[in-house]
Amino acid sequence: MLTRDRKVTANNAPTSSIFISYRHDADSELAASRLAEDLRRHFAREQVFQDFTSIDPGADFVEVLERGLEICAAVLVVIGPNWLSVVDDKGRRRLGLADDWVRREVAESLRRPGVRVFPVLVGDARMPGVDDLPEELQSLTRRQAFPLTVRHWAKDIEELVDYLQRVPGLERALADGTPPAGAVRQDSQAATKAAAASEGSHQVATAPNVREPETFGGSAPTSGATRSVEPPPRQGLPWKPLAAVGTVLAIAFVWFFAGGRTPDRPPPDQAAALVKVAPAIQPETPAAKAPVATPEPAPRPLETNKPGAVFRDCPDCPEMVVIPAGSFAMGSPKGEVGRKVDEGPQHPVRVAKSFALGSHEVTVAEFRRFVQASGYQTDAERNPDQGISAWSDSKGGLAPAKGRSWRNPGFPQDGRHPVVGVSLHDAMAYVNWLGKETGKDYRLASEAEWEYAARAGTTSARFWGDDPNQACRYANVADQRANEKHSTWTIHECDDRFAETAPVGSFEPNAFGLHDMIGNVWEWTRDCWNTSYADAPSDGSAWLEGDCARRVGRGGSWSSRPGQARAASRDKAEPGYRDDNTGFRIARTL
């Protein structure tokens, strides 16, 4: 990942930026995420800041704001119907608290000369009145509000972009030749190479004669499922809402303006290069092209089969990426470090048709929308006495955690984190609901489709190469932060900054533009479990024969050791199994 402690100077700071203020746990979160994505199609991606991942706290709030606001040209205050009334865990109205981070970021923005503040109304929210606001925010009521509606989303976005391009500083960024992010979504290859060089090389530390958790789950809280044990959940220093140590804005501004932004999808030439060095994989069309030049930012579907295209079938639907057709060698070669016998024999697979895959795992916010719309209860919620499986230090493995579910997995999560604690039943319920809502053929990926997409034209153990200690730029895995609590584990000798799940998209994507294909959470696939690839389908379809009482999980998780965090690594579980490191990613037939 790009260095996150770089000092902000006149030479490395962007000329201007757009900051989106919103509450992570309120009704405006999904709209804010959609707004950010649409703005990135019109401005350079690094100009639009919507969210933060994690950063060491402790910076002086006022000092950080003074530095950050020097390059902030516009602040969009996203106001949903409950923006005024959200309360904390003690029942106090958050906006009435002096240390509320939304209050502070809006107040500092209003005080800063030259910063244009736009109230953006979503979900039929009304503009607050003077009497509704603390004194330091009352001048917000004098700012012309801008409504964003689902029905007229495309038109509203175009109008908002027009206003923003008139803001001093933002139009200069465009005039300087910065391409719209939707035309060419790319990160800096030079910065990536420099970061890789600075990482150096490390050896994997393996503790001898210790019992290590294995893979994808463990002793299931359902119907006697037998599972090998997942490397333990990292208990180090989980991410927490930062109001207790300062304010989110201080942390966000440090992260954003200090250059710690998450790189976006690789440029087309980099993706093409990856395919060229993988003779066993020859996609029929260029892999990982940039998204279409001017995608419609409307809530209506963007129907396209163009490889690399990015689309959503509705404003709140997961972002999808078109994966090109092609061929690859599935499984791992003999001699690959960490290889298990069930990863062979390595065999050719041809994915004859392009398909779409989620750019990231299904998030808490996306799953919550499904639950609220359908009234669905997960397996864990229907069986609270069983709950989900979670790592237990006292028992030395995974054990049932009563009362836990996707809503409370045992560590903090907000809407941008991947949903966990979901069974295959729960994942299938989500894709079936989404298919009915959109009229599209949503499903889970086959195991072959998953590995093809994870490799993205590479033949190495991981899409970034064979060195597991480079993982922390690309994946959320068991690392040095885990070692702070569990010193006997085999870890990646790097620090990815997350103790448990990370917000989706926190790490660099592969050449197809997919985030978190390795690490973060295990992902369910459709395939039945087989201990060998002998007689496996060669056309990329799901293998629905064999031990269908257990299904395949792929990708590893935030607690996976180096041997598991590989493109070919696989494991199995009963369909009712759920734990705190298993989620899912959706696919769509085109």
Question: How far is residue 315's CA from residue 141's CA, in Å, rounded to a whole number?
Answer: 28
The 10 Å Cβ neighbour count of residue 130 is 12
The predicted pLDDT at position 166 comes to 84
Bridge partners of 323? Answer: 355
Are 567 and 463 in contact by the 8 Å Cβ rule? The answer is yes
pLDDT of residue 220: 42
* Nearest-angstrom CA–CA distance, 458 and 307: 17
Residue 139, burial from CB neighbour count under 10 angstroms (0-12, 13-18, 19+): middle
Question: What pLDDT shows up at residue 471?
Answer: 93
pTM: 0.56
pLDDT value of residue 105: 86
For 272, other C-beta atoms within 10 Å of its C-beta total: 17
Domain 216-222+283-290+301-589 has CATH 3.30.300.30: no
How many residues would you count in the chain? 590
Q: Report the pLDDT value the prediction gives residue 365, as an integer from 0 to 100.
A: 96
Report in angstroms the alpha-carbon separations of 575 from 325, 404, 524, 536, 554. 29, 18, 9, 21, 14
Question: Token pair of 158, please?
Answer: 């175009």
Q: What is the location of CATH 3.40.50.10140 in the chain?
A: 18-175
φ/ψ bin of 352: left (φ > 0), alpha (ψ from -120 to 50), beta (otherwise): alpha
Sign of CA dihedral 490, 492, 496, 497: positive
In the chain, CATH 3.90.1580.10 covers 216-222+283-290+301-589
The answer to whether the Cα torsion of 308, 48, 418, 148 is positive or negative is negative
State whether CATH 3.40.50.300 applies to domain 18-175: no
The distance of Cα 564 from the centroid of its chain, to the nearest Å, equals 20
The distance of Cα 35 from the centroid of its chain, to the nearest Å, equals 16
What's residue 200's pLDDT? 37
**Which residues of the chain are modeled with pLDDT < 50?**
1-14, 52-56, 172, 175-215, 219-303
The answer to whether 338 touches 562, Cβ cutoff 8 Å, is yes
